[in-house]
A and B are shown apart, each in its own frame.
Chain A
Amino acid sequence: MIEDYDYFRIAVKNMLTFFGVKAIDEAVNGEEAIDKMSSKSYDLVMCDYNLGPGKDGQQVLEEVKYRNYITQSTIFIMITADNSMDKFMGAMEYKPDDYLIKPFTRETLEKKIKNLIERKELLRGVEKAIADGDYTRALAKCESDILKKPRNLADFYRLKGEILFKMGNHEETERFYTNIMTLGKLPWAMMGLARVKFVTERHEEAVGLLEKLIAVNNKVMAAYDFLAEVLKKMGKPLEAQKVLMRAVAISPKEIRRQKELGQLSYDNKDLAVAEKSLKAAVKQGKNSRFKSADNYSMLANILIDKGAREEGIAVLNHGHREFHNDREGAIQIAMSESMVYTRLDRRDKAKEAIDRAVDIARNHPRKGSAKVEIDLAKALILRGDAETGMDILRRLIQNNHEDTEVLDLVRQAFRDLRLEVEGQKLVDTAVDEVIAMNNEGARLVREGDLEKAITYFQKATEVLPDNKIINANAAYAHILYMQQNKPNTAYLIKVRVYLDRVNRLDKDYKDLQKLRSMYKMLMLG
């Protein structure tokens, strides 16, 4: 029960106790609530929208969903003071299950909770099939449920659209949404249709639909974000910036949107807008999951560009404190500092900062994002430590050997360093090495030499723990072995580790769902 107003919190708690809720935890602000949800799982969360000066209810919801502190089965009820639409509608996946308007009676609350439990129960079959990645079954179940006309029919229609889209049948998905829209201007159907138009390269039509959706309801924030994405893809970054500016004027609290706007306007050389939105992102990002060291670096650079040196350095010092517990953020800030000091011609300070970045990277050898790793390697090579720098890049390439985006970033880095030839050579040999490694393992599997394949992949995953393909193949070899012999705990644990890695690296990896189902079958004995 999240509510800053003591009286009301206690009143609701009494109602819940009255109809038999056993354990109730309370929080008086968003931060405390997030903290509690991080360490305990809840069946029901009741959250007031207006929580005083800190985070509001919507931000709490987005953060706990983003961090997976609550699951599909958790019921989240947002309590509001009135029934008008001043609550911002974020992305569809960040919607509460229902709203309650204050004050409400015990009977109303009880009815609402019972309805929501029923709704979740009804959806379980379809959601399970989706989670298993079995879209054919999900679709069949969804269609048969729709015939029964459940009270939450809209949920089933929405899921049906999503399933069709995921199955990649664009024509049928389009037909479905177009049909649904004859019932009325349903925002989720309009978004769904826009998505189909976008992936089938009908960008103009997607733009038209999204503009229409915003005209119907200018608070469907997800529509602005998507519209900006489409415009960017169409090569219209200035228009995309304008759309995001409209969005932040309506809902200024969304950090990721402020960041996106900051980056976009920075690229568009609209530094005034970039400064403003990055300042907002930095300010709102404090203590938030969505804070990002990028915002600090970009903001510091803008400030120094316009001559506000002291302010720029202060931003980095602030970032330094904010990210002291975050390896990647700390490296990024340190490197920005070094660049800023280099620009200001303060060599000693610049060197101090880069040394700090290298220290952090060495002491915490977990892999960071490609961008940070590349920046770090660049800094090392520039400083004369080419060996360490090249080593970082080789590992990065090998962990992402099929990711053209990462490989392009690496090539770009070598161009920046004027080491194009050496760079291409490094990329080629590193990629060849991994492919050879993977092919060898795959050959062993194909030839049925599973024991050898397992030993081989175990070693390969030690060398390249962050390569999703190697990890997926390692899992596959172990699973095949257990299917042919019998499951054993040690291998099952290994498979789980491999699959968790694949999930972390790329949750949409093509074979992940299939491997998971095989793993679950083995777990059943």
Chain B
Amino acid sequence: MESQDELTFSDYLASTMHDTKNCLGMLYNTLEEIIGRCQEKQCEVQNDFYLLQYEIKRLNNDLIRLLTLYKAKKNQLLINVDLHSVGDCLEESIVQNATLLNSRGIEIDLECSGDLFWVFDYNLVLGVIDNIMNNTYRYTRDKVRISAVTEGAFLVIRIEDNGPGYPPSMLRQGNSTINDGNPVSFDTGSTGLGLYFSCLVAKSHNNGERKGYFLTENGGSLGGGCFSLYIP
């Protein structure tokens, strides 16, 4: 009986999250329309609205990740791979974030060869990139570079900025195995969910013996935070 009650509870949680997501979606799109009207009238509060939209997007992304994790716990995380143009995926993440980042004067730079193709789950990887791009809104000074290359048997998608970089607790360097239970820090407001999600997505991509992983480092080509996702 008890396990059944538990199931019901987590299912309620999931359905409530879905409802909350719908609600956020509505807020998000309403704001978009308001911003559109604002642009026509060139009103001053426009940037405040972007900030609102940014926070909604962040909440929404958190919920998406929670739902994904909930499903991954119930089942295994299923990935739906196909051969994709890497450039397409990166471009889509830029389209999703450009308006917001541009509103803060952040410049976005894309480096990816048009004939780079790789096998991966498009939506999950897009989710990871989108999350990192979204974070740069808060942390970078005025630049973001997103790039993709192949290194040996891996595709490497890299997102770099010129902000202050990751705090030591969030650094994942070298080929160290990644701990699933990322530390939750209530001081910094970081739930660790983003990195946990990245980790799950990376690990679920494997090809033969090779498994995916990610690194968070400081420095890189822009001197700030540098996130690298490795997909075999």
A157 partner residues in chain B, CB cutoff 8 A: 83
The B73-112 residues at the A interface (CB cut-off 8 A) are: 77-85, 87-88, 91-92, 95-96, 98-99
B75 CB, min distance to chain A CBs, angstroms: 8
Q: Is B21 an interface residue (CB 8 A)?
A: yes
A11, A82, A89, A188: the one contacting B29 at CB < 8 Å is A11
In the assembled complex, A478 has its CB within 8 A of some CB on chain B: no
A108 near B95: Cβ-Cβ < 8 Å? yes
If A84-B72, A154-B83 touch, whether A99 touches B18 (CB-CB below 8 Å) is no
- Chain B residues with Cβ under 8 A from A105's Cβ? 32, 95-96, 99
Kindly state the separation between the CA atoms of A145 and B123 in the bound complex, as whole angstroms: 26
Q: Which of A178-186, A414-422, A456-464, A467-475 contacts B (4 or more CB under 8 A)?
A: A178-186
Q: Are B67 and A84 in contact (CB under 8 A)?
A: yes
* Chain A neighbourhood of B18, CB < 8 A: 81
Q: Could you say which residues of chain A place their CB within 8 Å of the CB of B119? A: 183-186
Taking the closest CB of chain A, its distance from the CB of B131, in whole angstroms, is 11
A105 CA to B99 CA, complexed, in Å:
10
> Is residue B127 within 8 Å, beta carbon to beta carbon, of the partner chain?
yes
Residue of B nearest to A157 (CB): B83
Determine the interface band of chain A, counting residues with CB < 8 A from chain B. 35 or more
CA distance A86 to B71 in the complex (A): 8
Q: How large is the interface on B (under 10, 10 to 19, 20 to 34, 35 or more residues)?
A: 35 or more
Instruction: Tell me whether A82 and B67 are in contact (CB under 8 A).
Output: yes
CA distance A105 to B119 in the complex (A): 26
Instruction: Establish whether residues A217 and B25, one from each chain, have CB atoms under 8 Å apart when the complex forms.
Output: no
Any A CB within 8 A of the CB of B28 = yes
Instruction: Name A's B-contacting residues (CB within 8 A).
Output: 5, 7-8, 11, 14, 18, 81-86, 89, 99, 101-108, 111-112, 115, 149, 151-154, 157, 183-188, 217-219
Which A-B residue pairs are the 4 nearest by beta carbons?
A184-B119, A103-B25, A154-B83, A85-B78
A405 to B21: give the CA distance in the assembly, Å: 54
Are A103 and B24 within 8 A (Cβ)?
yes
Q: Are A8 and B71 in contact (CB under 8 A)?
A: no
Residues of the A chain whose Cβ atoms lie less than 8 Å from the Cβ of B29: 7-8, 11, 103
Q: Is B11 in contact with chain A by the CB < 8 A criterion?
A: no
If the complex has contacts A7-B26, A101-B64, A108-B92, are A85 and B99 also in contact, measured as CB distance less than 8 A?
no
| Residues of chain A within 8 A of B123, CB atoms compared | 83, 99, 101
Q: Could you list some 10 contacts between A and B, CB below 8 A? A: A11-B26, A84-B72, A101-B123, A111-B92, A112-B92, A151-B114, A153-B117, A154-B117, A186-B81, A219-B78
CA distance A102 to B123 in the complex (A): 12
Docked-complex contact A85 and B80, CB < 8 angstroms: yes
Q: Which residues of B contact A99 (CB under 8 A)?
A: 123
Q: Is the CB of B81 within 8 A of A84?
A: no
Q: A102 to B85, alpha carbons, bound, how many Å?
A: 22
Assess whether B114 is in contact with A149, with CB atoms less than 8 Å apart: yes
Q: Determine whether B5 belongs to the interface, using a CB cutoff of 8 Å to chain A.
A: no
* Contact between chains at B78 and A217 (CB < 8 Å): yes
Query: Is A111 within 8 A of B95, CB to CB?
Result: yes
- Cβ of B82 and Cβ of A186 under 8 Å apart? yes
B18 nearest CB neighbor, chain A only: A81
Which residue of chain B is the closest to A154 with respect to CB atoms? B83
Tell yes or no: B47 within 8 A of A by CB: no
CA distance A84 to B123 in the complex (A): 8
9 additional A-B pairs beyond A5-B22, A151-B88, beta carbons within 8 Å, are A7-B26, A81-B18, A83-B123, A84-B71, A85-B80, A151-B87, A153-B85, A185-B81, A217-B78
CB distance from B118 to the nearest CB of A (A): 8
Residues of B within 8 A of A152 (CB): 85
For B36, B85, B114, the residue with the greatest tally of chain A CB atoms inside 10 Å of its CB is: B85
Q: In the complex, A237→B25 CA distance in Å?
A: 48
Q: Could you say which residues of chain A place their CB within 8 Å of the CB of B82?
A: 154, 186-188
Is B115 part of the contact surface with A, judged by Cβ < 8 Å?
yes
Closest-CB distance, B27 to chain A (whole angstroms): 9
Q: Is B51 in the interface zone, CB < 8 Å from A?
A: no
Contacting residues, chain A, for B21 (C-beta < 8 A): 81-82, 102
- The answer to whether B124 and A83 touch across the interface, beta carbons within 8 angstroms, is yes
* B55: chain A residues within 8 A (beta carbon): none
What's the nearest-Cβ distance from chain A to residue B57, in Å? 8
Q: Is the CB of B84 within 8 A of A14?
A: no
**In chain B between 108 and 164, which residues have their CB closer than 8 angstroms to a CB of chain A?**
114-115, 117, 119-121, 123-124, 126-127
Q: A82-B68, A111-B92 are in contact. Are A103 and B80 (CB under 8 A)?
A: no
Q: Which residues from B are CB-within-8-Å of A219?
A: 78
CB-CB < 8 A to B228: which residues of A? none
A296 to B71, CA, bound (A): 36
Given contacts A103-B28, A106-B32, A184-B207, contact A85 B81 (CB under 8 A): no
User: Once the chains are docked, how many angstroms separate the CA of A90 from the CA of B121?
Assistant: 17
User: Per a CB cutoff under 8 Å, which of B30, B64, B84 touches A154?
Assistant: B84
Answer whether residue B48 sits at the interface, using C-beta atoms and an 8 A cutoff: no
Cα distance A81–B82 when bound, in Å? 21
A50 to nearest B CB, angstroms?
8
Docked complex Cα distance between A290 and B173 (Å): 55
Interface contact B80-A89, CB-CB below 8 Å: yes
> Once the chains are docked, how many angstroms separate the CA of A157 from the CA of B72?
31
Identify B80's interface contact among A102, A104, A217, CB under 8 A.
A217
Known: A84-B68, A84-B72. A184 touches B81 (CB 8 A): yes
Give every chain A residue within 8 A of B95 (Cβ-Cβ).
105, 107-108, 111
